[in-house]
Amino acid sequence: MDQSTKVFKFGGASVKDAEAIRNVAEILQNYRQDTLLIVLSAMGKTTNALEAVVNAHVAQTNEATSLLEALKLQHYLVMNELFSSDDEVYALVNDTFVEIEWVLDEEPHDNFDYMYDQIVSVGELISTKILCAYLNNQGLPTQWLDARDVILTNELYREAWVQWQETEERFQKNAQPLLQKGGFVVTQGFIGATQENFTTTLGRDGSDYSAAIFSFCAGAESMTIWKDAPGVFSADPRFFPEATMLPEMSYDEAIAMTYYGAKIIHLKTVGPLKRKHIPLHVRSFLEPSAEGTLISEREVTTYPPLLAIEANQVLLQISNKDYSFVTEQHFSQIFNVISDLRMQVTFIQNTPLILYISVFDQGDKVVQFADRIQDSLETSPVKNLELINIRHATAELLTQLRQERKVLVEQTNGASAHLIVEKS
Protein backbone atom coordinates (compact mmCIF):
# COMPACT_ATOMS: atom_id res chain seq x y z
CA MET A 1 0.00 0.00 0.00
CA ASP A 2 1.34 3.41 -0.99
CA GLN A 3 1.80 5.44 2.16
CA SER A 4 2.86 8.50 0.13
CA THR A 5 -0.61 9.15 -1.34
CA LYS A 6 -2.19 12.43 -0.34
CA VAL A 7 -5.92 13.01 -0.69
CA PHE A 8 -7.23 16.48 -1.54
CA LYS A 9 -10.90 17.40 -1.47
CA PHE A 10 -12.16 20.49 -3.30
CA GLY A 11 -15.75 21.66 -2.81
CA GLY A 12 -18.15 23.29 -5.22
CA ALA A 13 -17.08 26.85 -4.42
CA SER A 14 -13.50 26.05 -5.42
CA VAL A 15 -14.58 25.17 -8.99
CA LYS A 16 -17.60 27.44 -9.37
CA ASP A 17 -16.29 29.18 -12.52
CA ALA A 18 -13.33 29.29 -14.90
CA GLU A 19 -11.25 31.55 -12.67
CA ALA A 20 -11.80 29.21 -9.72
CA ILE A 21 -10.77 26.16 -11.76
CA ARG A 22 -7.60 27.97 -12.84
CA ASN A 23 -6.88 28.69 -9.17
CA VAL A 24 -7.22 25.00 -8.28
CA ALA A 25 -4.77 24.14 -11.07
CA GLU A 26 -2.31 26.72 -9.71
CA ILE A 27 -2.54 25.14 -6.25
CA LEU A 28 -1.98 21.69 -7.71
CA GLN A 29 1.11 22.85 -9.62
CA ASN A 30 2.82 22.98 -6.22
CA TYR A 31 2.17 19.25 -5.74
CA ARG A 32 3.12 17.95 -9.18
CA GLN A 33 5.76 15.66 -7.64
CA ASP A 34 3.23 14.06 -5.26
CA THR A 35 0.89 11.14 -5.74
CA LEU A 36 -2.46 12.88 -5.35
CA LEU A 37 -6.01 11.57 -5.28
CA ILE A 38 -8.32 14.55 -5.81
CA VAL A 39 -11.96 14.28 -4.71
CA LEU A 40 -14.23 16.90 -6.26
CA SER A 41 -17.75 18.17 -5.68
CA ALA A 42 -20.12 19.46 -8.35
CA MET A 43 -19.42 22.99 -9.61
CA GLY A 44 -20.91 25.88 -7.63
CA LYS A 45 -24.62 25.43 -6.99
CA THR A 46 -25.05 22.58 -9.48
CA THR A 47 -26.50 20.17 -6.91
CA ASN A 48 -29.24 22.68 -6.04
CA ALA A 49 -29.99 23.14 -9.75
CA LEU A 50 -30.21 19.38 -10.30
CA GLU A 51 -32.53 19.05 -7.30
CA ALA A 52 -34.82 21.56 -9.05
CA VAL A 53 -34.73 19.36 -12.17
CA VAL A 54 -35.73 16.33 -10.09
CA ASN A 55 -38.59 18.17 -8.42
CA ALA A 56 -39.86 19.54 -11.73
CA HIS A 57 -39.80 16.08 -13.26
CA VAL A 58 -41.74 14.61 -10.35
CA ALA A 59 -44.30 17.41 -10.48
CA GLN A 60 -44.49 17.12 -14.28
CA THR A 61 -44.45 20.90 -14.66
CA ASN A 62 -42.76 20.70 -18.09
CA GLU A 63 -39.89 22.77 -16.67
CA ALA A 64 -37.37 19.97 -16.11
CA THR A 65 -35.88 20.12 -19.60
CA SER A 66 -35.53 23.90 -19.63
CA LEU A 67 -33.92 23.85 -16.17
CA LEU A 68 -31.46 21.24 -17.37
CA GLU A 69 -30.67 23.25 -20.51
CA ALA A 70 -29.91 26.31 -18.37
CA LEU A 71 -27.52 24.26 -16.25
CA LYS A 72 -25.83 22.82 -19.33
CA LEU A 73 -25.35 26.36 -20.66
CA GLN A 74 -23.66 27.42 -17.42
CA HIS A 75 -21.18 24.57 -17.74
CA TYR A 76 -20.51 25.23 -21.41
CA LEU A 77 -19.84 28.91 -20.71
CA VAL A 78 -17.22 27.90 -18.15
CA MET A 79 -15.72 25.39 -20.58
CA ASN A 80 -15.57 28.02 -23.32
CA GLU A 81 -13.17 30.01 -21.13
CA LEU A 82 -10.94 27.00 -20.46
CA PHE A 83 -10.81 24.98 -23.68
CA SER A 84 -10.54 25.36 -27.42
CA SER A 85 -13.76 24.68 -29.29
CA ASP A 86 -12.53 21.34 -30.64
CA ASP A 87 -11.49 19.90 -27.26
CA GLU A 88 -12.86 16.40 -26.67
CA VAL A 89 -14.11 17.44 -23.21
CA TYR A 90 -17.25 18.89 -24.84
CA ALA A 91 -18.29 15.45 -26.11
CA LEU A 92 -17.53 13.87 -22.72
CA VAL A 93 -19.66 16.40 -20.87
CA ASN A 94 -22.48 16.27 -23.40
CA ASP A 95 -22.63 12.47 -23.17
CA THR A 96 -22.85 12.73 -19.38
CA PHE A 97 -25.74 15.20 -19.51
CA VAL A 98 -27.53 12.75 -21.82
CA GLU A 99 -27.78 10.37 -18.85
CA ILE A 100 -30.19 12.88 -17.24
CA GLU A 101 -32.13 13.33 -20.47
CA TRP A 102 -32.76 9.58 -20.57
CA VAL A 103 -34.32 9.77 -17.10
CA LEU A 104 -36.47 12.75 -18.09
CA ASP A 105 -37.74 10.87 -21.15
CA GLU A 106 -39.38 8.34 -18.82
CA GLU A 107 -42.25 8.72 -16.37
CA PRO A 108 -41.11 9.73 -12.86
CA HIS A 109 -39.85 6.70 -10.97
CA ASP A 110 -41.98 5.45 -8.07
CA ASN A 111 -38.96 5.66 -5.75
CA PHE A 112 -38.16 9.38 -5.48
CA ASP A 113 -34.86 8.83 -3.66
CA TYR A 114 -33.65 6.39 -6.32
CA MET A 115 -34.47 8.83 -9.11
CA TYR A 116 -32.88 11.70 -7.15
CA ASP A 117 -29.57 9.85 -6.96
CA GLN A 118 -29.52 8.97 -10.67
CA ILE A 119 -29.94 12.65 -11.62
CA VAL A 120 -28.15 14.63 -8.93
CA SER A 121 -25.01 12.47 -9.06
CA VAL A 122 -24.30 13.71 -12.60
CA GLY A 123 -23.00 17.03 -11.21
CA GLU A 124 -19.88 15.38 -9.80
CA LEU A 125 -19.31 13.28 -12.93
CA ILE A 126 -19.27 16.43 -15.05
CA SER A 127 -17.10 18.58 -12.77
CA THR A 128 -14.43 15.88 -12.55
CA LYS A 129 -14.34 15.44 -16.34
CA ILE A 130 -13.85 19.17 -16.78
CA LEU A 131 -11.12 19.43 -14.12
CA CYS A 132 -9.35 16.31 -15.38
CA ALA A 133 -9.25 17.65 -18.95
CA TYR A 134 -8.03 21.08 -17.79
CA LEU A 135 -5.25 19.68 -15.60
CA ASN A 136 -4.00 17.52 -18.47
CA ASN A 137 -4.00 20.58 -20.75
CA GLN A 138 -1.93 22.41 -18.13
CA GLY A 139 0.77 19.75 -18.16
CA LEU A 140 -0.42 18.00 -14.99
CA PRO A 141 -0.95 14.34 -15.97
CA THR A 142 -4.30 13.34 -14.48
CA GLN A 143 -6.38 10.18 -14.71
CA TRP A 144 -10.16 10.06 -14.23
CA LEU A 145 -11.63 7.54 -11.81
CA ASP A 146 -15.33 6.72 -11.45
CA ALA A 147 -16.00 6.67 -7.70
CA ARG A 148 -18.81 4.19 -8.33
CA ASP A 149 -16.15 1.63 -9.27
CA VAL A 150 -14.75 1.94 -5.75
CA ILE A 151 -17.37 2.95 -3.18
CA LEU A 152 -19.88 0.13 -2.76
CA THR A 153 -23.01 0.97 -0.76
CA ASN A 154 -26.30 -0.50 0.28
CA GLU A 155 -29.55 0.57 -1.41
CA LEU A 156 -30.51 3.36 0.99
CA TYR A 157 -30.70 6.01 -1.71
CA ARG A 158 -29.74 9.59 -0.73
CA GLU A 159 -28.14 8.36 2.52
CA ALA A 160 -26.32 5.22 1.42
CA TRP A 161 -24.14 3.26 3.84
CA VAL A 162 -20.67 2.22 2.76
CA GLN A 163 -19.86 -1.48 2.56
CA TRP A 164 -16.32 -1.16 3.84
CA GLN A 165 -14.72 -4.52 3.10
CA GLU A 166 -15.90 -4.60 -0.51
CA THR A 167 -14.97 -0.93 -0.95
CA GLU A 168 -11.41 -1.60 0.21
CA GLU A 169 -11.15 -4.54 -2.20
CA ARG A 170 -12.48 -2.44 -5.09
CA PHE A 171 -10.05 0.35 -4.23
CA GLN A 172 -7.11 -2.02 -4.51
CA LYS A 173 -8.42 -3.33 -7.83
CA ASN A 174 -9.58 -0.10 -9.52
CA ALA A 175 -7.85 2.86 -7.86
CA GLN A 176 -4.47 1.64 -6.64
CA PRO A 177 -3.17 0.79 -10.16
CA LEU A 178 -3.93 4.36 -11.28
CA LEU A 179 -2.11 5.83 -8.28
CA GLN A 180 0.90 3.61 -8.89
CA LYS A 181 1.33 5.20 -12.32
CA GLY A 182 2.11 8.49 -10.57
CA GLY A 183 0.62 11.90 -11.21
CA PHE A 184 -2.89 12.80 -10.18
CA VAL A 185 -6.13 10.85 -10.03
CA VAL A 186 -9.37 12.84 -9.94
CA THR A 187 -12.64 11.31 -8.75
CA GLN A 188 -16.06 12.29 -7.48
CA GLY A 189 -17.25 13.04 -4.00
CA PHE A 190 -20.78 12.29 -2.78
CA ILE A 191 -21.49 9.22 -4.95
CA GLY A 192 -21.22 5.45 -4.83
CA ALA A 193 -23.00 2.46 -6.32
CA THR A 194 -24.95 -0.61 -5.27
CA GLN A 195 -24.01 -4.18 -6.05
CA GLU A 196 -26.32 -3.90 -9.08
CA ASN A 197 -24.45 -0.77 -10.28
CA PHE A 198 -27.22 1.70 -9.50
CA THR A 199 -25.85 5.08 -8.45
CA THR A 200 -26.28 6.15 -4.82
CA THR A 201 -25.36 9.27 -2.88
CA LEU A 202 -23.89 9.48 0.62
CA GLY A 203 -25.99 12.36 1.94
CA ARG A 204 -25.95 16.07 1.20
CA ASP A 205 -22.46 17.59 1.35
CA GLY A 206 -21.01 14.07 1.49
CA SER A 207 -17.87 14.78 -0.54
CA ASP A 208 -15.78 15.25 2.62
CA TYR A 209 -16.86 11.75 3.66
CA SER A 210 -15.95 10.40 0.21
CA ALA A 211 -12.45 11.81 0.60
CA ALA A 212 -12.16 10.15 4.01
CA ILE A 213 -13.24 6.81 2.49
CA PHE A 214 -10.57 7.09 -0.20
CA SER A 215 -7.99 8.17 2.41
CA PHE A 216 -8.83 5.15 4.56
CA CYS A 217 -8.58 2.73 1.64
CA ALA A 218 -5.30 4.25 0.45
CA GLY A 219 -3.73 4.40 3.89
CA ALA A 220 -3.07 8.00 2.91
CA GLU A 221 -0.25 10.10 4.28
CA SER A 222 -2.74 12.92 4.88
CA MET A 223 -6.06 14.35 3.76
CA THR A 224 -6.69 18.04 3.03
CA ILE A 225 -10.05 19.76 2.66
CA TRP A 226 -9.70 22.99 0.65
CA LYS A 227 -12.40 25.50 1.57
CA ASP A 228 -13.14 29.20 1.23
CA ALA A 229 -12.54 29.53 5.00
CA PRO A 230 -8.97 29.68 6.37
CA GLY A 231 -9.62 26.80 8.80
CA VAL A 232 -11.92 25.60 11.57
CA PHE A 233 -13.37 28.34 13.77
CA SER A 234 -14.69 28.16 17.32
CA ALA A 235 -18.08 29.27 15.92
CA ASP A 236 -19.52 30.47 12.63
CA PRO A 237 -18.03 33.98 12.23
CA ARG A 238 -21.16 35.09 10.36
CA PHE A 239 -23.18 34.76 13.56
CA PHE A 240 -20.45 35.11 16.20
CA PRO A 241 -17.96 37.79 15.06
CA GLU A 242 -15.71 37.11 18.04
CA ALA A 243 -15.06 33.54 16.86
CA THR A 244 -11.41 32.52 16.61
CA MET A 245 -9.64 30.11 14.27
CA LEU A 246 -8.27 26.92 15.81
CA PRO A 247 -4.77 25.98 14.64
CA GLU A 248 -5.22 22.43 15.93
CA MET A 249 -7.95 20.04 17.12
CA SER A 250 -8.03 16.43 18.24
CA TYR A 251 -10.02 13.84 16.30
CA ASP A 252 -12.45 13.44 19.19
CA GLU A 253 -13.09 17.17 19.46
CA ALA A 254 -13.75 17.40 15.71
CA ILE A 255 -16.09 14.40 15.85
CA ALA A 256 -18.02 15.96 18.70
CA MET A 257 -18.34 19.32 16.97
CA THR A 258 -19.53 17.85 13.68
CA TYR A 259 -22.02 15.69 15.56
CA TYR A 260 -23.36 18.82 17.21
CA GLY A 261 -23.80 20.59 13.90
CA ALA A 262 -20.56 22.35 12.95
CA LYS A 263 -20.74 22.62 9.16
CA ILE A 264 -17.05 23.01 8.36
CA ILE A 265 -16.64 19.21 7.90
CA HIS A 266 -19.21 16.53 7.07
CA LEU A 267 -20.07 14.65 10.26
CA LYS A 268 -18.90 11.22 9.02
CA THR A 269 -15.50 12.43 7.85
CA VAL A 270 -13.23 12.16 10.87
CA GLY A 271 -14.07 8.61 12.01
CA PRO A 272 -12.33 6.74 9.16
CA LEU A 273 -9.29 9.01 9.47
CA LYS A 274 -9.00 8.38 13.21
CA ARG A 275 -9.09 4.61 12.64
CA LYS A 276 -5.93 4.84 10.52
CA HIS A 277 -4.28 7.83 12.23
CA ILE A 278 -4.48 9.95 9.07
CA PRO A 279 -4.07 13.69 9.79
CA LEU A 280 -6.69 16.03 8.34
CA HIS A 281 -5.81 19.55 7.22
CA VAL A 282 -8.50 22.18 6.64
CA ARG A 283 -7.04 24.91 4.43
CA SER A 284 -8.16 27.80 2.25
CA PHE A 285 -8.01 27.65 -1.54
CA LEU A 286 -8.09 31.47 -1.38
CA GLU A 287 -4.94 31.54 0.81
CA PRO A 288 -3.15 28.31 -0.14
CA SER A 289 0.07 29.27 1.63
CA ALA A 290 -1.67 29.51 5.03
CA GLU A 291 -1.45 26.46 7.28
CA GLY A 292 -5.12 26.29 8.32
CA THR A 293 -6.28 23.82 10.97
CA LEU A 294 -4.71 20.43 11.71
CA ILE A 295 -6.95 17.66 13.07
CA SER A 296 -4.99 14.70 14.40
CA GLU A 297 -4.64 12.22 17.26
CA ARG A 298 -2.59 14.69 19.27
CA GLU A 299 -4.54 15.93 22.26
CA VAL A 300 -5.11 19.66 22.68
CA THR A 301 -5.36 20.67 26.31
CA THR A 302 -7.18 24.01 26.03
CA TYR A 303 -10.06 25.07 23.82
CA PRO A 304 -12.16 28.22 23.74
CA PRO A 305 -15.93 27.70 23.90
CA LEU A 306 -16.95 25.91 20.67
CA LEU A 307 -20.40 26.73 19.29
CA ALA A 308 -22.43 25.09 16.57
CA ILE A 309 -25.94 26.06 15.49
CA GLU A 310 -28.50 23.67 14.04
CA ALA A 311 -31.08 25.81 12.22
CA ASN A 312 -34.53 24.84 10.94
CA GLN A 313 -35.53 23.02 14.12
CA VAL A 314 -38.92 21.87 15.38
CA LEU A 315 -39.35 21.15 19.09
CA LEU A 316 -41.75 18.26 19.70
CA GLN A 317 -43.31 18.53 23.14
CA ILE A 318 -44.73 15.07 23.79
CA SER A 319 -47.00 14.33 26.75
CA ASN A 320 -49.28 11.53 27.92
CA LYS A 321 -52.97 12.20 27.40
CA ASP A 322 -53.78 11.05 30.94
CA TYR A 323 -51.17 13.44 32.37
CA SER A 324 -48.98 10.60 33.68
CA PHE A 325 -45.38 9.90 32.78
CA VAL A 326 -44.10 9.20 29.30
CA THR A 327 -42.87 5.65 29.92
CA GLU A 328 -40.39 3.26 28.33
CA GLN A 329 -43.22 1.67 26.33
CA HIS A 330 -44.00 5.08 24.87
CA PHE A 331 -40.31 5.56 24.02
CA SER A 332 -40.40 2.43 21.91
CA GLN A 333 -43.44 3.65 20.00
CA ILE A 334 -42.05 7.17 19.57
CA PHE A 335 -38.65 6.12 18.23
CA ASN A 336 -40.07 3.45 15.95
CA VAL A 337 -42.15 6.16 14.27
CA ILE A 338 -39.16 8.51 14.11
CA SER A 339 -37.14 5.74 12.48
CA ASP A 340 -39.88 4.89 9.98
CA LEU A 341 -40.20 8.55 8.96
CA ARG A 342 -36.42 8.99 8.85
CA MET A 343 -36.67 12.09 11.00
CA GLN A 344 -33.37 13.61 12.09
CA VAL A 345 -33.23 13.99 15.88
CA THR A 346 -30.87 16.62 17.27
CA PHE A 347 -31.89 16.91 20.95
CA ILE A 348 -33.74 14.86 23.59
CA GLN A 349 -34.70 15.79 27.13
CA ASN A 350 -37.10 13.92 29.38
CA THR A 351 -38.96 15.57 32.27
CA PRO A 352 -41.65 14.12 34.54
CA LEU A 353 -44.51 15.19 32.27
CA ILE A 354 -43.01 16.18 28.91
CA LEU A 355 -40.55 14.54 26.56
CA TYR A 356 -38.77 17.15 24.44
CA ILE A 357 -37.38 16.06 21.08
CA SER A 358 -35.90 18.49 18.58
CA VAL A 359 -35.84 17.47 14.90
CA PHE A 360 -35.13 19.10 11.58
CA ASP A 361 -38.22 20.57 9.94
CA GLN A 362 -38.77 18.14 7.07
CA GLY A 363 -42.03 19.11 5.40
CA ASP A 364 -45.07 17.27 6.73
CA LYS A 365 -43.16 14.69 8.78
CA VAL A 366 -44.06 16.40 12.05
CA VAL A 367 -47.76 16.11 11.19
CA GLN A 368 -47.32 12.46 10.22
CA PHE A 369 -45.50 11.82 13.49
CA ALA A 370 -48.26 13.40 15.58
CA ASP A 371 -50.94 11.41 13.72
CA ARG A 372 -49.19 8.10 14.33
CA ILE A 373 -48.83 8.51 18.12
CA GLN A 374 -52.09 10.35 18.79
CA ASP A 375 -53.89 7.34 20.30
CA SER A 376 -51.96 7.68 23.55
CA LEU A 377 -49.76 10.76 23.27
CA GLU A 378 -50.16 14.42 22.42
CA THR A 379 -47.62 16.36 20.40
CA SER A 380 -47.25 20.13 20.59
CA PRO A 381 -44.71 21.23 17.96
CA VAL A 382 -42.94 24.59 18.05
CA LYS A 383 -41.33 25.60 14.74
CA ASN A 384 -38.77 28.13 13.55
CA LEU A 385 -36.24 27.34 16.26
CA GLU A 386 -32.48 26.90 16.50
CA LEU A 387 -30.40 24.53 18.59
CA ILE A 388 -27.19 26.02 19.96
CA ASN A 389 -24.66 23.38 21.01
CA ILE A 390 -21.67 24.48 23.09
CA ARG A 391 -18.58 22.57 24.16
CA HIS A 392 -16.29 24.04 26.82
CA ALA A 393 -19.07 26.41 27.81
CA THR A 394 -18.42 29.16 30.33
CA ALA A 395 -20.90 30.72 32.73
CA GLU A 396 -20.33 34.09 31.08
CA LEU A 397 -21.16 32.78 27.62
CA LEU A 398 -24.33 31.02 28.81
CA THR A 399 -25.48 34.19 30.57
CA GLN A 400 -24.85 36.18 27.39
CA LEU A 401 -26.82 33.73 25.23
CA ARG A 402 -29.76 33.71 27.64
CA GLN A 403 -29.87 37.49 27.48
CA GLU A 404 -29.69 37.58 23.69
CA ARG A 405 -32.10 34.74 22.89
CA LYS A 406 -35.37 33.39 24.18
CA VAL A 407 -34.48 29.94 25.51
CA LEU A 408 -37.27 27.33 25.45
CA VAL A 409 -35.31 24.32 26.75
CA GLU A 410 -31.80 24.07 28.13
CA GLN A 411 -29.62 21.08 28.96
CA THR A 412 -26.17 21.16 30.52
CA ASN A 413 -23.75 18.32 31.15
CA GLY A 414 -20.47 19.42 32.63
CA ALA A 415 -18.92 21.88 30.20
CA SER A 416 -21.35 20.99 27.40
CA ALA A 417 -24.59 22.89 26.96
CA HIS A 418 -27.53 22.70 24.55
CA LEU A 419 -30.10 25.49 24.14
CA ILE A 420 -33.29 25.37 22.10
CA VAL A 421 -33.94 29.01 21.22
CA GLU A 422 -36.25 31.11 19.10
CA LYS A 423 -34.61 32.09 15.85
CA SER A 424 -32.91 35.45 16.18
Residue at 289 is within a domain: no
Look at residues 269, 257, 261 and name the one whose alpha carbon lies nearest to residue 358. 261
Tell me: the pLDDT tens digits for 323-363?
777 777 888 899 999 999 999 999 999 988 899 999 999 98
d(CA 136, CA 25): 10
Same domain, 163 and 25: yes
Burial of 290 (0-12, 13-18, 19+ CB in 10 A): exposed
Crossing angle between the packed helical segments 18-29 and 122-137, to the nearest 10 degrees: 60
Residue at 261 is within a domain: no
Same domain, 314 and 188: no
| Residue 416 reports pLDDT greater than 90 | yes
Residue 263 banded pLDDT, cuts 50, 70, 90: confident
Write down the pLDDT at residue 376: 85
Write down the pLDDT at residue 1: 42
Domain boundary among 210, 227, 244: 227
Same domain, 177 and 67: yes
Same domain, 340 and 217: no
Q: Which is it for strands 36-40 and 6-10: parallel, antiparallel or unpaired?
A: parallel
Percentage of the chain with pLDDT > 90? Answer: 87
> 109, 117 in Cβ contact below 8 A?
no
Residue at 81 is within a domain: yes
Average pLDDT of the chain?
Answer: 95
Residue at 295 is within a domain: no
The tally of domains found in the chain comes to 2
> 304, 378 in Cβ contact below 8 A?
no
Look at residues 318, 354, 350 and name the one whose alpha carbon lies nearest to residue 334. 318
Its sign, for the CA torsion 199, 14, 275, 255, is negative
Residue 420 banded pLDDT, cuts 50, 70, 90: very high
> 142, 24 in Cβ contact below 8 A?
no
Same domain, 216 and 313: no
Residue at 235 is within a domain: no
Same domain, 206 and 328: no
Percentage of the chain with pLDDT > 70? Answer: 99
Domain boundary among 202, 227, 252: 227
Residue 133 banded pLDDT, cuts 50, 70, 90: very high
How many residues appear in the chain?
424
Among 61-75, 102-116, 198-212, 259-273, which is the least confidently predicted range? 259-273
Same domain, 220 and 310: no
Domain boundary among 173, 205, 227: 227
Same domain, 322 and 202: no
Same domain, 60 and 183: yes
The domain containing residue 400 runs over which residues?
306-422
Same domain, 182 and 92: yes
- Confirm whether pTM is higher than 0.85: yes
Residue at 23 is within a domain: yes
| Residue 382 reports pLDDT greater than 80 | yes
Same domain, 327 and 209: no
Residue at 27 is within a domain: yes
Residue at 290 is within a domain: no
CATH number of the domain encompassing residue 414:
3.30.2130.10
Same domain, 187 and 43: yes
Residue 152 banded pLDDT, cuts 50, 70, 90: very high
